[in-house]
Structure 1
Amino acid sequence: MQTTILYIGRDAEITIVMERLLNARPEWKGICVCTDEEAVALCETQNLDLVLLGNGINAECEKVLRAKLTALQPGLKIVQHYGGGSGLLYGEIMSALS
């Protein structure tokens, strides 16, 4: 069974890299978006296991996003992702899911 991970970031280039990194592991299905509207729409239609909040999301947007996403999927794990190599990303995801 795949773990579905949604990454939300504001930088399109970083989002492309994150999509490649998340989908490089067969046990993960990575979906990456740049807007809150896309994220909410995905949360309405897909069962998510984890949300990673990336660069460029300010505190107010984060608060609103968390509220909207958890209203749609109570108990959804949402964590900050500050960047770093693929090893750090793996550790961050595994820690959040455990």
Structure 2
Amino acid sequence: MQTNILYIGRDPEITVVMNRLLNARPEWKGLCFCTDDEALAVCSTQHIDLILLGNGIEDEEESQLRNKLQALCPNAKIIQHYGGGSGLLYGEIMTALG
């Protein structure tokens, strides 16, 4: 069974890298976006297991975004991911999915 992972970040180049990393593993399906609207639209149509919040999201907007995401995906775990190598990403995801 595939794990659906939503990534939201503001940097388009990092978002492309995250998309590549998340979709490199056959057990993960990465859905990566730079805008809240795109991410929220996906949440309303697909089951999401884990949500990664990336860099560039301001504190105030992060709080509002978390509230919206929790309303749409109440069972998804939300964690912050600010970078690091693919090994760190794998570790964060595996710990979150526990």
Query: TM-score higher than 0.5 here?
Result: yes
Q: Residues 1-98 of structure 1: matches in 2 within 5 Å?
A: 1-98=1-98
Say if 2:49 and 2:75, in contact at 8 Å, map to a contact too. Answer: no
Q: Alignment RMSD, CA only?
A: 0.6
Unaligned runs of at least 5 residues, structure 2 = none
Question: Could you tell me which amino acid in structure 1 is paired with residue 77 of structure 2?
Answer: K
Percent sequence identity is 73
Distance 2:38 2:21 in 1: 20
Question: Could you tell me which amino acid in structure 2 is paired with residue 91 of structure 1?
Answer: G
Q: Per the alignment, in what secondary structure is the counterpart of residue 92 of structure 1? A: helix
Distance 1:18 1:73 in 2: 21
TM-score, length-scaled by structure 2: 0.97
String of CA shifts for 1:44-68, please: whole Å, max 9, x gaps: 0010000000010011111011100
**Number of aligned residues:** 98
Q: Per the alignment, in what secondary structure is the counterpart of residue 71 of structure 2? A: helix
Distance 1:40 1:56 in 2: 17
Distance 2:68 2:76 in 1: 11
Unaligned runs of at least 5 residues, structure 1 = none
Q: Per the alignment, in what secondary structure is the counterpart of residue 93 of structure 1? A: helix
Deviation, 1:75, is 2.6
